[in-house]
């Protein structure tokens, strides 16, 4: 089947909850993919950071095949020989004490919410059903009903009510707003260290450390969603480490790259002081902690410990941003980001980011808009300098080619992406 035929059956039989670029990928190696027509593309999205190690990394594929042949699933009704070592190695890597494994990122965030609420009732003594978890405007934590209940994106919420109560919202990047929002019922502040889906929004320096200090003072949990930013993407193992130990959260949500881009696996990690609130039967998942995903995650952690990926992300990211800033394109409002999580914001008076992504695809680069106005560049962390140079040549052709929109025309709504 050719590209058009593949797209036609996907459209006919699959729900239309995404608006993908018209490319049908068949295989991938490192940072490069090949489509069904035999064309090659440089991947600049990495499945939203799930593919930090690139496609088909031999260490991950070998670990997956070995475990595939032994045992894939046991359920948590029994022990398996991968779960314990996975939890231990994740604790050693991160410096935390206890792990609760799940599958998707959204499930990890749901687990963080449940943990914080239970901690609030059992440890803090909050009155039943009164717990509040403060979240930030423009957050992205996934797509379950509870999580979209605290989204500020109208499209993520519309038609899915009634919503889960108990999530006051404050502006991102403003510690004073956090302090003002805290009440006797507050159990946690739940936030992303960099808001990736909302357009690679980097908070002011010192923001996370200040928030942590406020949380400590009021005895509430400081919870970071590192699902997209964690595991070396931003140039440090976790994004909060840019602010040092002063920003260390009480709990983290991890996902995406934890499964090496091979299998879905997510987790919350925290202290026993918090994790002790769970008793057998309180929470769980059939596939959570399965030996197949745990074995691959262990292989992924081995790569994190041995490949120097954080330094790579930092150095390549700095190089990439420097080259992007040197492109003279009137459509560009700002180039920002950390490590290899980079956003190029397009001015309102130019076509939306999707317009650029379509043209970059024609040049051999696969990118995704983050909201309407930001082109996200987040390649696998194994990217070579020569690949970045190759990409820059193409980006330098596409960015300046955009013409300002006519004053009356405005943006074409048909160009809007379907979000994440």
Ligand X SMILES: *Cc1c(COP(=O)(O)O)cnc(C)c1O
To which residue do tokens 């680069």 refer? 365
Give the Cα separation of 99 and 88 in Å (integer): 8
User: With respect to ligand X, which residue has the nearer C-beta, 227 or 383?
Assistant: 227
User: With respect to ligand X, which residue has the nearer C-beta, 109 or 116?
Assistant: 109
The region that residue 281 occupies, defined by phi over 0 for left and psi between -120 and 50 for alpha, beta otherwise, is: left
Q: Which of 118, 210, 256, 368 is catalytic?
A: 256
Give the Cα separation of 179 and 142 in Å (integer): 25
DSSP state letters, 241-280: GGG-GGG--SEEEE-GGGGTTTS--EEEEE-HHHHTT--T
Write down the least CB distance from residue 14 to ligand X, Å. Answer: 17
User: With respect to ligand X, which residue has the nearer C-beta, 43 or 225?
Assistant: 225
Write down the least CB distance from residue 36 to ligand X, Å. Answer: 25
User: With respect to ligand X, which residue has the nearer C-beta, 337 or 351?
Assistant: 337
Phi and psi angles of residue 370, each rounded to the nearest 5 degrees, phi first: -110, 110
Which residues are at the interface with ligand X (CB under 6 A)? 48, 104-106, 109, 140-142, 192, 196-197, 225, 227-228, 255
Q: Helix, strand, or coil here: 414?
A: helix
Write down the least CB distance from residue 402 to ligand X, Å. Answer: 27
User: With respect to ligand X, which residue has the nearer C-beta, 126 or 267?
Assistant: 267
User: With respect to ligand X, which residue has the nearer C-beta, 192 or 387?
Assistant: 192
Distances (CA, A) of 64 to 71, 274, 301: 11, 32, 14
User: With respect to ligand X, which residue has the nearer C-beta, 138 or 355?
Assistant: 138
- Cβ neighbour number for residue 84 with a 10 Å cutoff: 12
Q: Are 270 and 61 in contact (CB under 8 A)?
A: no
Is 256 an active-site residue? yes
Q: Are 170 and 178 in contact (CB under 8 A)?
A: yes
Q: Which of 86, 140, 222, 377 is catalytic?
A: 140
Phi and psi angles of residue 265, each rounded to the nearest 5 degrees, phi first: -155, 135
Write down the least CB distance from residue 2 to ligand X, Å. Answer: 30
User: With respect to ligand X, which residue has the nearer C-beta, 48 or 355?
Assistant: 48
Is 140 an active-site residue? yes
Q: What number of H helices and E strands is found in the chain?
A: 14, 15
DSSP H or E stretch at residue 34: strand 32-35
In this chain, which residue has its C-beta nearest to ligand X? 105
Write down the least CB distance from residue 62 to ligand X, Å. Answer: 24
Distances (CA, A) of 270 to 132, 156, 299: 19, 29, 22
DSSP H or E stretch at residue 387: helix 385-398
Give the Cα separation of 94 and 304 in Å (integer): 11
Write down the least CB distance from residue 134 to ligand X, Å. Answer: 17
Write down the least CB distance from residue 120 to ligand X, Å. Answer: 22
Write down the least CB distance from residue 195 to ligand X, Å. Answer: 8
Strand partners, 30: 55
Give the Cα separation of 112 and 146 in Å (integer): 12
Which tokens hold the place of 166?
Answer: 């108990």
Q: Which of 225, 250, 369, 387 is catalytic?
A: 225
* Active-site amino acid positions: 140, 225, 256
């Amino acid at each position: 089947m050719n590209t058009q035929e593949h797209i036609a059956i996907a459209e006919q039989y699959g729900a239309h909850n995404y608006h993908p670029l018209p490319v049908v990928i068949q295989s991938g190696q490192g940072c490069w993919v090949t489509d069904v027509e035999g064309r090659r593309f440089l991947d600049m999205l990495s499945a939203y950071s799930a593919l930090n190690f690139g496609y088909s990394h031999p260490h991950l594929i070998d670990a997956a095949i070995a475990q595939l042949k032994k045992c894939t699933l046991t359920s948590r009704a029994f022990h398996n020989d991968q779960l314990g070592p996975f939890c231990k190695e994740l604790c050693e890597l991160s410096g935390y004490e206890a792990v609760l494994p799940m599958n998707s990122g959204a499930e990890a965030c749901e687990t963080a919410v449940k943990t914080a609420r239970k901690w609030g009732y059992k440890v803090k003594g909050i009155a039943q059903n009164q717990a509040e978890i403060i979240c930030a405007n423009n957050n992205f934590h996934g797509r379950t009903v509870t999580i979209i209940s605290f989204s500020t994106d109208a499209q993520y919420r519309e038609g899915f009510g009634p919503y889960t109560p108990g999530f006051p919202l404050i502006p991102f990047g403003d510690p004073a707003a956090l302090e003002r929002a805290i009440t006797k019922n507050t159990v946690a502040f739940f936030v992303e260290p960099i808001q990736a889906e909302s357009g690679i929004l980097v908070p002011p320096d010192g923001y996370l450390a200040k928030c942590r200090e406020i949380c400590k003072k009021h005895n509430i949990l400081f919870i970071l969603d590192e699902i997209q930013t964690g595991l070396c993407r931003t140039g440090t193992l976790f994004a909060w480490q840019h602010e040092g130990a002063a920003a260390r959260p009480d709990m983290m949500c991890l996902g995406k790259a934890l499964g090496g881009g091979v299998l879905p696996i997510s987790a919350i990690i925290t202290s026993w002081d918090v994790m002790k609130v769970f008793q057998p039967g309180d929470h769980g998942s059939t596939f959570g902690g399965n030996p197949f995903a745990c074995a691959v995650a262990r292989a992924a952690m081995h790569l994190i410990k041995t490949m120097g990926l954080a330094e790579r992300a930092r150095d390549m990211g700095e190089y990439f941003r420097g080259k992007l800033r040197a492109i003279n394109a009137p459509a560009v409002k700002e180039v920002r980001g950390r490590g290899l999580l980079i956003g190029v914001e397009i001015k309102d008076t130019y076509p939306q980011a999707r317009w650029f992504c379509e043209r970059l695809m024609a040049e051999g680069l696969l990118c995704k808009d983050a909201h309407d106005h930001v082109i996200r560049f987040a390649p696998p962390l194994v990217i070579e300098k020569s690949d970045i140079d190759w990409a820059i040549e193409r980006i330098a052709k596409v960015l300046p080619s955009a013409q300002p929109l006519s004053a009356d025309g405005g943006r074409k709504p048909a160009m809007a992406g379907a979000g994440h």
